[in-house]
Structure 1
Amino acid sequence: MEQRYGAGPDQINGMNTTQLRENFMVERLFTPGQISFAYTHFDRMVVGGAVPTEKALSFGDGKDVGTSLFFDAREMGIANLGGAGWVEVDGMRYDLGNRDVLYVGRGVEVVTMGSIDAKSPARFYMNSVPAGHSVPTRLITRAEAKVLEMGDAEQSNRRSLAMYIHPEVAPSCLLLMGITDPAKGSVWNTMPPHLHERRMEAYCYFDLSDEDRVMHFMGRPDNTRHLVVANGDVVLSPAWSIHMGAGTGPYGFVWGMTGENQEYTDVSPVAIKELR
């Protein structure tokens, strides 16, 4: 399990590109035949990726999070961003198609993941956060997500936001998780940019071609920086930072949040003209 310690807003001035990426990004999560995790010190979120091929992949030991079992005091969302797959939670199997999400509640012992076809493997993206109580494990299919249409085509930020792990769809203790897709011809996401001082957020950008990139903007509104993001890269957004991005081609992203509350609208918008 890798570590990401992050930094405060007064520290990014002294960071070069490599240092920004080392603190605020997780790369190479999706390696065929492996599970990869990164423990972040942004509200203790763990991000992970798994690409099972011929053999299933399992985890459950809690050594890296300081407990006997991984889920002794944690919950998790698992989004399938690849081919058809399955996840077995303590012997109960759930089949996940592309863009289905499985919520795994506190108290689980073992999670096992597999692909239906090794030549077109599942790509499981995971967000895990501390949880104070148990909520039953539940599959949320793409059809069951609550979709919000947002933005304006004339400003190139028309997009659909699908809520999966959310009080209005599937409850959890503290985790929120969903998927956003810019509309055809739109490139900007999360407009206007905003802060939510009571929650951090992780972005996993996916469905980009090899040639395309997303330019992700971070930092305080009056002191911004950017990260160049490829397919499958994860950006960690602390509570003090704005977060928005523009892609050079089609893309989507999984957003995961945790913090003091689950109020999706508990944000402080920032006018574009105020950015520096």
Structure 2
Amino acid sequence: MGMLQKYGAGPDQIDAMNTDRLRENFMVEGMFAPGKIGFAYTHFDRMIVGGAVPTGAPLSFGGGEDVGTETFFEAREMGIANLGGVGWIEVDGTRYDLGNRDVLYIGRGSKTVTMQSDDAENPAWFYMNSVPAGADIPTRLITRSEAKVLKMGDAEKGNVRSLAMYIHPEVSPSCLLLMGITDPAKGSMWNTMPPHLHERRMEAYCYFDMSPEDRVMHFMGRPDNTRHLVVGAGDIVMSPAWSIHMGTGTGPYGFVWGMTGENQAYTDVDPVKISELR
């Protein structure tokens, strides 16, 4: 399988980083290669992110050699979001059909995962978040229609957005993983405004549904010492617990967010005033 390693950095280290080093430490690129499956082990609460684009033979994984256990899911759970064409995922012999923006939760103790696209010309894009788990929760498909959608934002500030919760206590429970999809409304470009910190949870962002020429400017860092990352479709940003996270795009986009940490409480955040950003 092969797995990249991403070690990240602390807030006192980003001053010395140029663009390339900042991207190396806080971004994962190239996970959605046709006919391949890829993973990156991040040292942000040990979240693993990955991508798979089946275009020929089905793609499978399940061995634990890269995570130090007998099987991949011996001590882990996972969420897989389909960001592309229709496809299917088989978990230990049970098949789940995933349309665009459906999410599959895979519980601890699963053995083998196999993924395939219905149409190689319009393949599925399977985006994966996996975190350590201490409980056995059954595997479950959460369709787009089953997600709980929250409407947020202000049109005058350009940040109207819908937040769809998939892996969440109010929709489909997990041990520690949270996962969902956010879409800015037509004409709105900002997400996650105003910014905030959640020191007890890290977050990963995967940007998608973008035209090839567009980019999102993702802002990170401490509120008084910010940096930015320029991201395109399929790029993944690792947001440590000490960092703000917000972005604005040059065109329409969406993003998958995945979180893990001490709790699953959305209210466990520390808001940051826009006027305090530097």
Same fold (TM over 0.5): yes
Segments of 5+ residues of structure 2 without an aligned counterpart are: none
Work out which of the residue numbers 253, 266, 269 in structure 2 matches 1:267: 269
Segments of 5+ residues of structure 1 without an aligned counterpart are: none
Q: Within the alignment, does 1:179 sit opposite 2:181 as a pair? A: yes
User: C-alpha displacement at 1:29, in angstroms?
Assistant: 0.5
- Give RMSD over aligned pairs: 0.4
Q: Within the alignment, does 1:2 sit opposite 2:16 as a pair? A: no
SS of corresponding position for 2:33 = coil
**How many residues get paired?**
276
How far apart in 2 are the matches of 1:229 and 1:120?
23
User: C-alpha displacement at 1:54, in angstroms?
Assistant: 1.9
The code of the aligned residue for 2:198 comes to H
Calculate the TM-score normalised by the size of structure 1: 1.00
Tell me which residue corresponds to 2:103. Answer: 101
Tell me which residue corresponds to 2:20. Answer: 18
How do residues 236-255 of structure 1 correspond to structure 2 at under 5 angstroms?
236-255=238-257
How far apart in 2 are the matches of 1:264 and 1:59?
32
SS of corresponding position for 1:167 = coil
Cα deviation 1:106-146 (Å, max 9, x = unaligned): 00000000000111000000000000011000000000000
SS of corresponding position for 1:42 = coil
How do residues 98-247 of structure 1 correspond to structure 2 at under 5 angstroms?
98-247=100-249
Report % sequence identity: 81
How far apart in 2 are the matches of 1:109 and 1:54?
23
Q: Within the alignment, does 1:57 sit opposite 2:65 as a pair? A: no
The code of the aligned residue for 2:56 comes to E
How far apart in 2 are the matches of 1:153 and 1:54?
44
How far apart in 1 are the matches of 2:273 and 2:78?
33
Give every structure 1 segment of 4 or more consecutive aligned residues whose post-TM-superposition deviation is greater than 6 Å. none
User: C-alpha displacement at 1:265, in angstroms?
Assistant: 1.8
SS of corresponding position for 1:200 = strand
The code of the aligned residue for 1:7 comes to A
SS of corresponding position for 1:273 = helix
SS of corresponding position for 1:65 = coil
Calculate the TM-score normalised by the size of structure 2: 0.99
User: C-alpha displacement at 1:55, in angstroms?
Assistant: 1.1
